[in-house]
Structures are given as C-alpha cells and as structure tokens.
Amino acid sequence: MRAKLTVKTVAAAIIAACCSIPASAQQEIKSPEEMASEEATRLESLLSLEPHQTFFIDSVLAHDTKMMYEEMKALQKDGVMEETVYRQIRDKWTESINRAYREILTDTQWIAFLKSQGKFKEARKAAKSLKEKE
C-alpha cells in the first residue's frame, strides 16, 4: 500500500522533530518546507490541480507548517511535555490548512480530498449539498 503523506502525518513528523529526538536524528527529518512541497505535489496528482491551485496549496502549507513547527518548538523550549497541548496545536493548524484548501479547491476536488483523508461522512454531506445546488 502506498504511504500517503497527509496533513496529520506532516504534523506528526513536526511533533516528532520537536519532541525528544536527539539532534543527530533530527538531521534525517525533513524541514517543514520540504514536507509542504511533497504534500502539494501529492495533492496535485491526486486532485488534478491546476498550476495556480498547486501554488496556493504549496504556499499555505509552507506557511502553516512552518508556523506550527515554530509554535511547537517554543513549547519544547519552555519544557512543555503534555502531549495534548501539542495535539491542540496540530489540530489548530490542520483546521487552518483545511479552511484554506476549501477556498482553493473546487467542490469536486474538495470531496475527493475529504475521501482521501478518510472523512467519508463529510464527503457525502458535501456531495449532497453540491447536488442540491445543481
């Protein structure tokens, strides 16, 4: 099965980079910008994005993953060890990314994105509202 790099896996990688990984091991972890670029490329092929959509998604991901990484790094520096705090930050930035995706993607692309994320109930709801528009 082909591994899919999703927003949550990007967030998990950032959390891992921030938490309890020795400096030598951190060199193997990709930067937030690299992860954003890979995710934009994955979405480009998955959703048949137009070039301008790919650009916007790459820009959103580069900004938001970097901000999430910096926020988590600051927590690590302050000695925060509570996993729920890191999850809340991840969820906040994931929601921000998804809101941006919704504005960038067409209705059909948005439904395909939701399905790729395993959000079938939301995808069905979006498809139903799309049919009602027609």
Residue 29, token pair as written in the block: 């972890």
Write down the pLDDT at residue 8.
62
pLDDT digits (tens, 9 = 90+) for 75-124: 999 988 888 999 999 999 999 999 999 999 999 999 899 888 888 788 78
Q: Round to whole Å and give the CA distance between 4 and 21.
A: 23
- φ, ψ of residue 34 in degrees (nearest 5): -65, -45
Write down the pLDDT at residue 18.
54
pLDDT digits (tens, 9 = 90+) for 8-61: 655 555 555 555 555 555 557 888 888 888 999 999 999 999 999 999 999 999
pTM of the model: 0.71
Write down the pLDDT at residue 16.
56
pLDDT digits (tens, 9 = 90+) for 93-103: 999 999 999 99
In sequence order, which residues have a C-beta less than 8 Å from that of residue 26 and are 6 or more positions away?
17
Write down the pLDDT at residue 97.
94
The dihedral over CA atoms of 54, 59, 64, 67, expressed in degrees to the nearest 10, equals 150
32: exposed, middle or buried (C-beta count within 10 Å: 0-12, 13-18, 19+)? buried
